[in-house]
Amino acid sequence: MAYKTIQLAVEGKLATLTLNRPDKRNAISFELIDDLLRALDEVAKSDAIILVLTGAGKAFCSGMDLDNLKALTGRTPEQNLQDSKTMVQLFRSLYEFPKVTIAAVNGAAIAGGTGLALLCDFTLASPDAKFGYTEVRIGFVPAIVSTFLLRQVGEKHARDLLLTGRLFDAAEAARMGLINEIVPGEQLMARARQLASVLMENSSASLFATKQLLTDHARTEIDAQIEEAVRSNAAIRLTADFREGIASFLEKRKPVWTGK
């Protein structure tokens, strides 16, 4: 299958999916989302047991593509709602993926990039990796990612990260339990493959059944929260603060909020 924004390699029981827009710091574009969804489906149908997700170049994923971000201000309410549903589909496809997933975070993973990195079963990160739910800094709302973050770190940490929109490093992410290991950058992919080898020693039927069990446990709660998250995600795009946040970010100036 042909992809424009990612690279997918399936070697026996191991699949490696690389976000491949290094000149854009692997930013999330509409095209990248489509490629990711198709690639996840391809891996799910393959003989692979483990999927490693990483980024090309110096970043893992820097968040939304600037051109796509600018386009959001001109979307209709119906398009905003569909955009939100598509992002939910991507995040849930990764969170509920039937095979075991390992994120090898080689650099910045911001906003939606943080979501992709932390929704994997295992997250390994280089010491210089940066994370952040920065949505509130541009007049957006981290509605969809909040559903998953609350399950991972609890309400107090979630409120801190989501309301401040601050960046945090790999060491802090490890302390909160958001990542499993900090690995020197030059050893990151080797460690991911080593972990994959350890996992492959287990029964694949047991791995898949255990993942399905965990998914089933979470589904009812996530279904209810996601429905509200989609509405919030779409609704915030109709506000003046959202338009100002996008404009100020693109113009590299301090935003002037009106609270509307």
Q: What is the C-alpha separation between 254 and 119, in angstroms, rounded?
A: 31
Catalytic residue among 31, 78, 96, 135: 135
Half-sphere exposure of 9 (CA within 13 A, CB side): 8
Widest Cα–Cα separation across the chain: 57
Specify which residues 6 forms β-bridges with. Answer: 19
Half-sphere exposure of 125 (CA within 13 A, CB side): 30
Long-range contacts formed by 158-165: CB under 8 A, 24+ apart = 161/132, 161/133, 162/133, 162/135, 162/136, 163/136, 164/136, 165/132, 165/133, 165/134, 165/135, 165/136, 165/137
41 touches 99 (CB < 8 A): no
Q: Is 135 a catalytic residue?
A: yes
Q: What is the C-alpha separation between 33 and 85, in angstroms, rounded?
A: 12
Angle, vertex CA 7, rays to CA 60 and CA 50, nearest 5: 80
Q: What is the C-alpha separation between 166 and 260, in angstroms, rounded?
A: 23
Helix-, strand-, coil-residue percentages of the chain, each rounded to 5: 55, 15, 25
Residues labelled as active-site residues: 135
